[in-house]
Amino acid sequence: MTRRGRYSSDNLIRSEDLPTMRGTCMQLPAKIDDLEEKQRWEQQLRDHMVPKIVDLFCGAGGMSEGFVNAGFAVVAAVDHEKYACETFATNIPARVICTDISRIEDPATILEGLECNCRRSTLPGILLRGASTYFKSGRGTAACGAGTQRIISTVLSFH
């Protein structure tokens, strides 16, 4: 019996039947390149009342956007995917580092040169978004490589 109705195979559009129209690629400016935005971000870094995060494995910045909306300042973000880093930089003011985290020789370079009034967080799982799930679950050693663990411990000791 042939299926009828809204979701019958005769009514479905197949992706191979859709026309492809590629647009031109655009490079959007980083939010931190806006002078007013950069000054506001730098002020947040100096303000000891503003909680701060370092977003490791940041992707396009969805989690950081939530933290920003909750009043946090994103000090730095690290990811290895070029387009994710570009999207992050377009939407969130922060130092964005596009590299494989295991290739960072000196983790202090993530925060180097920033005037950041940082203090140890009372919620260490929030301080480093991306790494916190490894440590809260007790899988830190198995889930993270030695380079990642070195970066996490150095950034934590900085705060």
CA dihedral sign, ordered 33, 39, 43, 46: positive
Read off the pLDDT of residues 102-151 as tens digits, 9 standing for 90 and up.
888 888 788 888 887 665 443 333 345 554 443 443 433 334 444 454 55
Read off the pLDDT of residues 48-74 as tens digits, 9 standing for 90 and up.
888 888 898 999 999 999 999 999 999
Nearest to 130, CA basis, from 121, 116, 140, 120 = 140
CA 57 distance to own-chain centroid: 6
Domain 31-158, CATH number (from 3.30.470, 1.10.3470, 1.10.1740, 3.40.50):
3.40.50
For Cα atoms 87, 147, 129, give the angle at the middle one, nearest 5 degrees: 45
Q: How far is CA 94 from CA 86, 122, 149, in A?
A: 12, 22, 22
How far apart, in whole angstroms, are the C-alpha atoms of residue 136 and residue 120?
17
Count of positions (residues) in the chain: 159
Q: What is the pTM of this model?
A: 0.65
Question: What is the residue extent of each domain of the chain?
Answer: 31-158
